[in-house]
Structure 1
């Protein structure tokens, strides 16, 4: 039987559909690594669109079962996706700041509809678990296009104060200029340039903390961040974590239930539509 095994998977016999999926993703990864720049362009957009469509196909693939070689390729791909996503958001956010009423033109962003669906899903899960109209919310990793915070603030949490944390000062500057045209948003939405690992007692102010998918791209970093937030957030506070399942895990980091032993797990939801991120809601236990 050894001759039938695929050597790139360290002796494991993967189902044919999994082998084909990995081969196609690997091919796209090779093409992406050869790009001179990840800034939006016809070639960049085409490659990442193909990758996303491929990863959205229904798949039972489990990244834990993959070879070290494929795991390393996946980690590289997540970093590349994160950079490309950041550059795409920055380009559109900068464009929006140059036109009148940027908040009325958010739908020009190509993935705006996905953000609306994800924010609606997350707010629905929060509401089902008793987190309704929280007084203060922290969004960690808000980026230059803080779409989740804006959608939540305008459609779901109309009296909530949002603190958006990002490590990138340029991203926060552009994001701040997007909301600057709305006096009410300026009052309710702040942008703070800080590494969340340096934020301590302040984390205890929030009723709910949202952690963007690309904050902590490696498992080690994600676990450090989750541990830090757990230590300083308020008892009884909610933490919303974005994750991924199946082939979507080639785009975003995965958070498993066993990674959240410091918390009470309230809900885990894996979408099957064009929303890519899974949503995990946990609560810090009240001692």
Structure 2
């Protein structure tokens, strides 16, 4: 395998070299019998994340169709693997006497703390301070963003977490159950967000997880649905990706965001993978 040892990673990595490496990894990941956490799965995915966070000037729109198809497949594979990793760790952590004290066992816990700090800063800078009610769409079995936000940044906010997987919600409830105060402020609902309507009008701020709507079409449809029912003046924080990070997560472009006021787009350059897009539903 070609090596990046001679490349100064402050400069951009040649796109062809990066794409060739990512395609090789995709071929290896596709052949795996299972994406459950194992030495091999963890090693391949760690390598993939490292490649995707190298500085690069890859323009996803300009890629050949073959690479675009590989990218869609890779997002699904790595998203599936991420879900299985979260499930494994939430099961493990939920069996400890004080699950909330053991969240740091999750390998990417530090990244979630950085992302939550970043998102909280962006929300505050745009006037979203201590919202009364927040919805998190796609919270999964390890609802780390909600927990970190509720315990470090929004200490009086009520969080409704939506996920289509009841098993994920069941694990998430077990983790939060050890803290009565937090449990009162945090609910987990098994529902497809496309079936939640008027209720979306209750929230001051809605978070949309990166893997809710894995294709461009699905993402645009979900954004349109949320916009229709959310409250006027309410904030919608959408996670996106840029450059090589877009081999891990879907991209939300400015032209995908119809009838919203775009407040800010932030692209990280550290180990945080997701870009942050903050929108507001304009007042009529």
Q: Which residue of the other structure, out of 212, 217, 220, is the alignment partner of 2:217?
A: 220
> Which SS does the other structure have where 1:240 is aligned?
strand
1:232-251 aligned at under 5 Å gives the runs 232-251=229-248
| TM-score, L = length of structure 2 | 0.95
Tell whether the 8 Å contact from 2:143 to 2:172 is kept in structure 1 after alignment. yes
Structure 1: 4+ residue segments shifted above 6 A? none
- Distance in 2 (CA, whole Å) between partners of 1:156 and 1:137 is 12
SS of the counterpart of 1:61?
coil
Question: Which of the residues 85, 88, 110 maps onto 2:82?
Answer: 85
1:267 aligns with 2:264: yes
2:37 to 37, 40, 58: 40
Show the 5 A alignment for 1:195-210: 195-210=192-207
- Ranges in structure 1 where 5+ consecutive residues have no aligned partner: 1-14
Q: Does 1:286 align with 2:270?
A: no
Superposition CA RMSD, Å: 0.9
Paired with 2:84 and 2:168, the residues of 1 have a C-alpha distance of: 10
Quote the Cα distance in structure 2 between the aligned partners of 1:20 and 1:65: 16
Name the CA distance, whole Å, in 1 between partners of 2:104 and 2:267: 25
Structure 1 residue matching 2:14: 3-state secondary structure? helix
Q: How does 1:142-161 map to 2 (within 5 A)?
A: 142-161=139-158
Q: Is 1:65 matched with 2:62?
A: yes
CA 1:16–1:115: 2 relative to 1, 3 Å: closer
Query: SS of the residue aligned with 1:158?
Result: coil
CA distance, structure 1, for counterparts of residue 94 and residue 183 of structure 2: 15
The answer to whether structure 1 residue 29 and structure 2 residue 26 are counterparts is yes
Q: Distance in 1 between matches of 2:106 and 2:183?
A: 21
* Cα distance between partner residues in 2 of 1:152 and 1:272: 22
Distance 2:133 2:63 in 1: 41
Q: Determine if the alignment matches structure 1 residue 230 to structure 2 residue 208.
A: no
CA contact (8 A) 2:227 2:281 kept: yes
Alignment match, 1:162: 159
**Structure 2: runs of 5 or more not aligned:** 1-11
1:117 is aligned to 2:118: no
